[in-house]
Amino acid sequence: MSVLLFASAILAQAQDAVIYTISGTVSDGIKCVYLSSLRNEPIDTALVENGKFQFNGSLPQHTFVTLSDDASNLPVNLLIDGTSVEVNMERRSLKGSKLNERLNKADRQITDLTIDYMQDQMEYAQVRQWQTELRDSLRRVMNASYNKVVVEMKNVIRANPDNVIPALYLSQIYNTLTIDELKEYLDETHVYASHPLCVGAWRTLNHYEKTNIGTRFTDLVEADTAGVSHRLSEYVGKGNYVLIDFWASWCAPCLLEMDNVKAVYQKYHEKGFEIVGLSFDRGRQPWINAIVDHHLNWIHLSDLKYWNSEASVVYGISSIPANILVDGNGIIVATDLRGEELSRKLRQIFRY
């Protein structure tokens, strides 16, 4: 199965709901405990009575959740797996299934390393700009602390191919991984590879594979400003160098970059340079207004589906502005060229 199809299959999966019971103890003075998603979206609140709390409910199997209290103590991550869990909030420990106990052991170790990193980050932030040597020294310490967090997360991922625990950590570091690491971790035989938390990692792998220099561009279909559908291949691979530009009218950094893009378009268009803008807009009129107001006089396509656009899904684009430079044969020769980098690359190609 292709990367794109596998990621789409994850999104289409329906997970069965299971009943959960989460109980536990807190330190003196705590009045409430909060059950939240990993994105801090509230799920439930439990009042503390005699130092104890309890949650009951149902959630999709293998949902990761977070427990926190009203004293801003460190949260506790756990997994909904149909087994009752007892949590000691003060110690950040729990008793439950073997899977949850394994998760808790890994999570406490990673949390401790993360605390060290955050402390180093705070020290670095407090140093004055003119204290160059001290800043350089603290930056090295901070980077080393962060690397320890990442290394430990990678260790947990590699040690747990037979369960869903790695999904929690892969969702936090996938943007830092190489294409080879993503391929290793997203082996389809690994149980966690089909967890919904891995969708971002799959999209990033898809982005790497679809935008590798030397790779042929991938075709797609979107509509122009008049609503007429066009294939990207109508403009790409036809003998001209083409910049496929991912942008949106609501994206301020995209609009700031447009002066550079317009300059190279005006300079090289008559020499065989084309631009196809693939917009992540949601509304037709703001998209058209931006094209007109900023004098973006090249080809524009969009399906007006925001981050669910065909361009985003096919190329795994998770942030904009972004672009791909394709040669006359449809082969990718560069990616994410901005400002002077774009000008320099086109000077090399057109030799002026």
Phi, psi of 235, rounded to the nearest 5 degrees: -120, -20
Q: Cβ atoms within 10 A of the Cβ of 160, count?
A: 20
What is the distance between the alpha carbons of residues 39 and 66, in angstroms, rounded to a whole number? 9
pLDDT of 4 strictly over 80: no
Angle 340-350/252-268 helices, nearest 10 degrees?
A: 20
Identify whether the C-beta of residue 196 lies closer than 8 Å to the C-beta of residue 11. Answer: yes
55-70: average pLDDT: 96
Q: How confident is the model at residue 2 (pLDDT cuts 50, 70, 90)?
A: low
pLDDT for 111 equals 94
User: Which domains are assigned to the chain?
Assistant: 14-94 (2.60.40.10), 103-210 (no CATH), 221-350 (3.40.30.10)
User: Residue 128 — very low, low, confident or very high, per pLDDT cuts 50/70/90?
Assistant: confident
Segment 243-255 mean pLDDT: 97
What is the three-class DSSP state of 294? Answer: coil
pLDDT score of 262 more than 60: yes
* Predicted confidence (pLDDT) per residue in 197-215, tens digit: 999 999 899 989 999 999 9
C-alpha span between 115 and 100 (Å, rounded): 22
The helix (H) or strand (E) run that includes residue 59 is: strand 52-60
Nearest to 96 by CA among 105, 106, 87: 87
Average pLDDT of span 8-35: 83
Query: Rounded distance, CA 83 to CA 110, Å?
Result: 24
Q: How far apart are CA 221 and CA 172, in angstroms?
A: 32
Take residue 269 and report the two structure tokens written for it.
């268009």
pLDDT value for 318: 83
Mean pLDDT of 69-82: 90
Which pLDDT score, from 0 to 100, does residue 73 have?
78
The pLDDT confidence band at residue 1, using thresholds 50, 70 and 90, is very low
Alpha-carbon span 241 to 268, nearest angstrom:
10
Question: Given pLDDT bands bounded at 50, 70 and 90, which one contains residue 127?
Answer: confident
DSSP string, 119-159: HHHHHHHTS-TT-HHHHHHHHHHHHHHHHHHHHHHHHHHHH
Contact between 156 and 186 (Cβ < 8 Å): no
β-pairing, 229-231 vs 76-80, is: unpaired
Q: Furthest-apart CA pair in the chain: how many Å?
A: 78
Q: Looking at residue 152, what is its pLDDT?
A: 97
Is pLDDT at 13 greater than 60 in this prediction?
no
**Contact of 217 with 333, CB cutoff 8 Å:** no
Amino acid 74: pLDDT: 86
Higher per-residue pLDDT: 14 or 290 = 290
Tokens read off for 108 = 């406490």
Question: What is the per-residue pLDDT for 12?
Answer: 46
- Asked if 346 and 250 touch (Cβ cutoff 8 Å), the reply is no
Task: Classify the C-alpha dihedral 214-220-224-230 as positive or negative.
Answer: positive
